[in-house]
Structure 1
C-alpha cells in the first residue's frame, strides 16, 4: 500500500483521527437520544418537538457520515460499534429515563453544549497541535451547526419577554426566578 503523503505525519493524522472518532461517538449518542425523544415526546408541544427533532436527527445523520469519511480520508478507520462509541464518548446515556418534554429539551441542550465545547477544543488542537487546518475548518462548520441546534432548543425552554431592542424586558428582569 502506498503511504499517504498529504503534508501530515502519521502521528499528526492519528492525533486528528482520535479527535474525530470521539466526535463521531458523541454524534452517535446524540443521534440515539434525539431519535428516542422524537419517539417518546408527549404533551402540548408534541408536534413542534417531534418535527424539530426530526430535523435535528437528519442533520446529525449527515454529520456522522461526514465525520466517518473525514477519518477515512486521513487514513484511519471510524469507530463502528456501540461498544466503541460508549468507550470514547464524552456524552452519557440516560438509559431507562423518559423525562418530560422540557426535560428532554434540557438534556439535549446540555449534550449539544458539551459537543460544542469539545469542538472548540478539537478545532484548536487540530490546527495548533496537529497542523491540520482542513480538519480544523471542517470541525468549525460542524460546531456552528450544533450552536444553531442548541440555540433552537434553548429558545424552546427560555420563554423570557424581550424588548424590541433585544434586551430582556425590565419587568421580566425584576421578577424573581420561580415566580
Structure 2
C-alpha cells in the first residue's frame, strides 16, 4: 500500500503543484520567501514593491528585528544582574521599558512576512544581524548598565530614522511609519535613562 501511494500523483504536473519543502530563503538577508517553490507558497509575493525595493526594505526589517530581540534580551539581562542602591528602581524600570519595546518584535517580523519575506529567528542569525550586543559577563553596576543602554539606544534610534528614510525612498511608507513610531519610543526610553545618570549617587 505504501509503495502504491508513493507512486500515485507522480509526473510533471504533480511536481509543480506539490513544491519542495525546507528550501532556504535567498538574498543577503535570507528574507526572500516569495519565490520559493514550497507548499502553500503560490500566493506569497512582494505586493506593490519591486524586487529592488523589497531588497532594501527586507534588509532593514531583518536587521531591526534582530536588534529588537537583542535589545529585549539585554534589558532582561541587566534586569536580572542589577545590584545595589538602584536595584529596585532599575529592576522595575527595565521591565517597563521592555513592555514598550517588545511589541515591535512581532510587528516587524509580520511586516516582513506580509511583504513576502522570511524573518530570521535562530540565535546565530539574530547575533549576525543585530547592532546590539547582549553581554555574556555579569554587569551589576548601575551606571555601567545605564550608560551602555544609552549608547545602544542612541545607535538604535538613529538607525530607525535612517531606515525610515531608506524604506520611504523604496516606496514603502507603511514601514517608514512603523520605524518613526519605534524611533520615538526609543528616544523616550533613552531620555529617561539619561536622566537617571544625573544622580551623582549612581555607582
TM-score (norm 2): 0.74
The Cα offsets for residues 2-50 of structure 1, whole Å up to 9 and x where unpaired, read as 3536321132123201101100111111111100111111111111111
Partner of residue 140, structure 1: 180
Residue-pair matches, total: 159
- Determine helix, strand or coil for the equivalent of 1:158: coil
Partner of residue 54, structure 2: 13
- Structure 1 residues 85 and 32, CA gap change in structure 2 (3 angstroms): same
Contact 2:46 2:116 in 1 (8 A): no
Equivalent positions of 1:1-179 (< 5 A) are 1-2=42-43, 4=45, 6-128=47-169, 130-159=170-199
* Structure 1, gaps ≥5 residues long: 161-179
* Structure 2, gaps ≥5 residues long: 1-41
The Cα offsets for residues 70-97 of structure 1, whole Å up to 9 and x where unpaired, read as 1111111111011001111122232214
Contact 2:146 2:197 in 1 (8 A): yes
Partner of residue 164, structure 1: none
